[in-house]
Amino acid sequence: MKLDVNVLRYLSKDDFRVLTAVEMGMRNHEIVPAELIDRIASLRHGGTYKVLKNLLKHKLLHHDSSKYDGFRLTYLGYDFLAIKTLVNRGVFSSVGRQIGVGKESDIFEVANEDGTVMAMKLHRLGRTSFRAVKSKRDYLKHRSSFSWLYLSRLAALKEFAFMKALQEHGFPVPNAIDCNRHCVIMSLVQGYPLILYWTFILEHADLNQHFYNDQNLIKRNVIMAMGPGEEKEKEMHPLLPTPLPLMSISSPSNPLQVKQLQSTDIVFEKIIGIIVRLAEHGLIHCDFNEFNIMIDDDEKITIIDFPQMVSVSHRNAEMYFDRDVECIIKFFSKRFNLSFEGNADDSDSDADAESDAVKPRFSSIKKASGFLDKELSASGFSRKEQEDIEKFNEGGLKKIPGSDDEEIEEDEEDTSSTINESDIQNFDSLCSLTKDDDEPKACSKSGEVEEDQQ
């Protein structure tokens, strides 16, 4: 899906009012009846219907008349509400190029008035795993207001809360700047995912352009360059639109080259050290792999991607912990030929200590408990919300590739209005967040921020 922020310029106050009304309606309806939208937005002279058409044209809404005439927000519609709110708060003023595609997120560069560039992560839960969730619906059955909006918002809130707390505890994570709806704003990491350190990079200078501009070409080249038996598209996916660092382009005499770390074992130790220190703080990352570890030219590590983190008191904590450790060991031994032999089975105590440093045992770590609960509740995250996102994460382990958001099927639902009158009365103050000045500027394809032409 393309995020065309130019559309933002053409949206009026009424457009945002109606978009916000649909969002409110989605608290109780996956498809919000048109009359309800009209009632919440209360524009004069039937104005709501005209606006709905306009929003539909810009793909900010999805129309569904299978059971009744109704609408729901698309990801794009939800993006615009979040972006508009953050722009009005002065967090950023322009949106730039896309710098990452995660399993369930899109990452863009954004910049503020001072020209500081930051990263914007838009969570897209349901993009790949909605069907998996649907098959595991038992836990969601009783949620009248369940929707992907809710889950994406929870993922963003959790990620933001964790990034902030981890930073305060001295972990190398991006600086958490702000959060709204499903959108997290954080500092831009000046490195590249560790995965790039073993991917073969094509040498040709001209291709450099394509690396930046044509995602398909990157995909083809990288997969081709990985060689037979290694064509794991699934594994490659998060890497694709990440701009490749120029320094990785090898010399013309050597068409393919693997980028090497300067001090592989120090980097390895640092990474394992972070897993252990997280556990000491009561946490397990749960997706600790070469895609979520960023590394810069000085081999400084930054950890990203926190929505799936769990507490060390989770019933599967040890399994998650071991999986994170194994993943790193496997990556380093396979890609950097780091040898771990002879460490694991030695029985004397020195060898034990050494082997613990390579492959730490969950049982021998002095773990703090309560970190998760404390930090999350401090950020306004309720226990119920924690449980919901955790259940989603567990259901989401079985991803079904190829499904997209337009294939989301709707639940049987109650079409009567269950929104409180007080919600509707408060609607004006909600909409004042979306005043239509301060619109974001567009960015050129090359990523440079263009001056507002207006």
Residues of this chain that interact with Mg ion (CB under 5 A) are 102, 291-292, 305
**CA distance linking residue 353 with residue 323, whole number of Å:** 20
**Residue 33 or residue 102: which is nearer to ligand ADP going by CB?**
102
The answer to whether the beta carbons of residues 190 and 130 sit under 8 Å apart is no
The answer to whether the beta carbons of residues 356 and 344 sit under 8 Å apart is no
Give which of Mg ion, ligand ADP, none residue 200 binds (C-beta under 5 to 8 Å, depending on kind): none
Least gap, CB of 187 to Mg ion (angstroms): 17
Least gap, CB of 118 to ligand ADP (angstroms): 8
The token pair at 417 is: 């209005």
Under rule CB under 6 A, residue 149 binds ligand ADP: no
Measured in whole angstroms, how far is the alpha carbon of residue 32 from the centre of its chain? 26
**CA distance linking residue 288 with residue 306, whole number of Å:** 9
Stretch that binds ligand ADP, among 34-42, 97-105, 221-229, 275-283 (CB under 6 A): 97-105
Residues 6+ apart with CB under 8 A from 347: none
CB atoms near residue 140 (< 10 Å): 18
| Closest by Cα among 413, 391, 396 to 70 | 413
**Residue 150 or residue 291: which is nearer to ligand ADP going by CB?**
291
x/- binding map, residues 272-301, to ligand ADP, per CB under 6 A?
-------------------xx---------
Measured in whole angstroms, how far is the alpha carbon of residue 37 from the centre of its chain? 29
Residues 6+ apart with CB under 8 A from 29: 36, 70, 72, 413, 414, 415
Under rule CB under 6 A, residue 105 binds ligand ADP: yes
Give which of ligand ADP, Mg ion, none residue 282 binds (C-beta under 5 to 8 Å, depending on kind): none
Annotated active-site residue 373? The verdict is no
Under rule CB under 6 A, residue 128 binds ligand ADP: no
x/- binding map, residues 174-213, to ligand ADP, per CB under 6 A?
x-----------x-xx---x--------------------
Positions in 230-249 near ligand ADP (CB under 6 A): 238, 242
Task: Name the 3-class secondary structure at 111.
Answer: strand
* Chain positions contacting ligand ADP, by CB under 6 A: 99-100, 102-105, 107, 119, 121, 174, 186, 188-189, 193, 238, 242, 291-292, 304-305
Q: Which residues are catalytic?
A: 287
